[in-house]
Amino acid sequence: MPPNETPAPTKKIGLIGGLALRAGVFYYEQIQQRCVAENRQLRLILEHADVNTVLACVSAGDKAGLGRYLGSIANALFDAGADLVAVTAVAPHLAIDEIVSVARGPIVNLLDHISVGLADAGVERVAIFGNRAVMQTGIYGIIPTEKIVPLEPSIIDHVHAMYTDIALCGKRGTPTETEFLEGVARTAVERDGAQAILLAGTDLSSFYAGQAPTFPHLDLAQLHINAIIDHARAPNT
């Protein structure tokens, strides 16, 4: 960047983090890198949510409770000057309609961008890695059943347990975990006809932050971050 070039203005981004710790950090890092690359001013604030509260609501299917909880956090961000807010995880989008109804400003909804992301990538048939609720519902009905390569129940249990462990402990994946996911992905692609694996959990995105997986994949966190940047590009009027 030339020393006298003024960064392009942006809207202030509000992130709901803590879902888990690495999720918010991953979004922050990725957004910061994008702003530097595009010579854009970064204006960002982050509010912490309790991951145990959120996962309990997701497990119980408590959309109303989750909507009130994360909607109130979104409003704290709007009160602090955010122009738009995003939830830095896939699983809490279970209650995205309820969050939007509580929030006093625009929420960047990841679910709005998945179908377009798949179409842009030319992907029609997928397997999903993430939280149990996300895997078993086709990302809350966004992916039609006929386009999903279903995982065996024992595999869903294992992936969910691994995902939860990463989320709650904030750890990087071990070689054993990496090998397991690679094996599941190979089976889904080579035997069962998946064109790609959807990484439908930000903790899986951070899991692979140092080195991308060897299998074909689409990272939903990156789709979400692209949408956040697009929303933030336009200056306030």
pTM: 0.92
DSSP per-residue codes, 182-205 = HHHHHIIIIIT--SEEEEESHHHH
Model confidence over 82-135: pLDDT tens digits?
999 999 999 999 999 999 999 999 999 999 999 999 999 999 999 999 999 999
CA separation for the pair 43, 5 (Å, rounded): 18
**Cβ(46)–Cβ(17) under 8 Å?**
yes
Same domain, 20 and 104: yes
pLDDT reading at 3 higher than 60: no
Neighbours of 210 (CB within 10 A): 8
Full domain range(s) for residue 197: 112-220
> For the chain, how many structural domains are there in total?
2
Same domain, 23 and 37: yes
Write out the two tokens for 100: 């939007």
Mean pLDDT of the chain: 91
Same domain, 140 and 205: yes
Residue 4 included in any domain = no
Tell me which long-range contacts 160-163 makes (C-beta under 8 A, separation of at least 24). Answer: 160/131, 160/132, 160/135, 163/129, 163/130, 163/131, 163/201, 163/203, 163/204
Same domain, 116 and 203: yes
pLDDT reading at 229 higher than 80: yes
Same domain, 93 and 22: yes
The CATH number of whichever domain residue 86 belongs to comes to: 3.40.50.1860
Same domain, 116 and 213: yes
Same domain, 18 and 59: yes
CA distances from 17 to 74, 150, 172, 184 (A): 11, 30, 18, 29
Residue 1 included in any domain = no
pLDDT reading at 30 higher than 90: yes
Same domain, 94 and 128: no
Residue 212 included in any domain = yes
Helix (H) or strand (E) holding 74, with range, is helix 63-79
Residue 54 included in any domain = yes
DSSP state of 93: G
